[in-house]
């Protein structure tokens, strides 16, 4: 059984209900939810949006491979209203790297595996840059070490906040 850390978030529609439904679907389709953070609100990251995001971290156990987890969470996103084709059109029209969405589920950690291919990078490559990810992760795994950098989640959050203060 692998221990997998997921970050869920969204800013369109009834986000609280969507996150609750996503957690239930992850538990049913991907693996047993061991720990779940509270929901945290944040501004959009990487693009402008009037809607704030809600983000929540989950730790699960699963028998699925990393790519099977990715396939399962992308199906859950689609079932909960995420339309990647429409997002791609909006990104192309606006030039933005990101757009508002009802749900996004990212794999942050998969045990201590390090994986990079055309579909998936684990650990999540921008984790150390994203306070909206680090805050809920700190709630459930402050001392969890990044398998590449060796920093704990708490240390990453502290370093990011220090960098933000200096900017």
pLDDT in tens, 31-60: 999 999 999 999 888 877 889 999 999 999
Q: What is the total count of domains within the chain?
A: 1
CA distances from 42 to 45, 55, 62 (A): 8, 8, 29
Kindly state whether residue 161 falls inside one of the protein's structural domains.
Answer: no
Q: Which of 3, 29, 39, 82 is catalytic?
A: 82
Q: What is the pTM of this model?
A: 0.94
Query: Which residues, including other chains, have CB under 8 Å from residue 114's CB and lie 6 or more apart?
Result: 122, 123, 147, 148
Catalytic residue list contains 101: yes
Domain extent, residue 95, equals 2-125
DSSP, res 151: -
Q: Which of 71, 104, 117, 119 is catalytic?
A: 104
pLDDT in tens, 119-160: 999 999 999 999 999 999 999 999 999 999 999 999 999 999
Kindly state whether residue 135 falls inside one of the protein's structural domains.
Answer: no
The domain spanning residue 42 has which CATH number?
3.30.70.560
Catalytic residue list contains 71: no
């Amino acid at each position: 059984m692998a221990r997998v850390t997921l970050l869920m978030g969204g800013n369109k529609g009834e986000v609280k209900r969507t996150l609750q439904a996503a957690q239930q679907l992850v538990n049913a389709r991907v693996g047993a939810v061991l720990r779940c953070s509270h929901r945290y609100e944040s501004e959009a990251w990487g693009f402008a949006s009037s809607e704030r995001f809600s983000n929540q971290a989950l730790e699960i156990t699963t028998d699925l491979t990393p790519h099977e987890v990715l396939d399962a969470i992308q199906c859950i996103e689609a079932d909960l209203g995420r339309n990647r084709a429409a997002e791609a059109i909006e990104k192309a029209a606006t030039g933005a790297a990101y757009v508002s969405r009802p749900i996004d589920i990212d794999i942050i950690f998969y045990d201590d595996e390090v994986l990079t291919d055309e579909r998936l990078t684990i650990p999540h490559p921008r984790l150390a840059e994203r306070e909206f990810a680090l805050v809920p992760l700190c709630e459930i795994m402050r001392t969890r070490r990044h398998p590449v950098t060796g920093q704990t989640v708490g240390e990453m959050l502290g370093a990011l906040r220090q960098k933000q203060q200096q900017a």
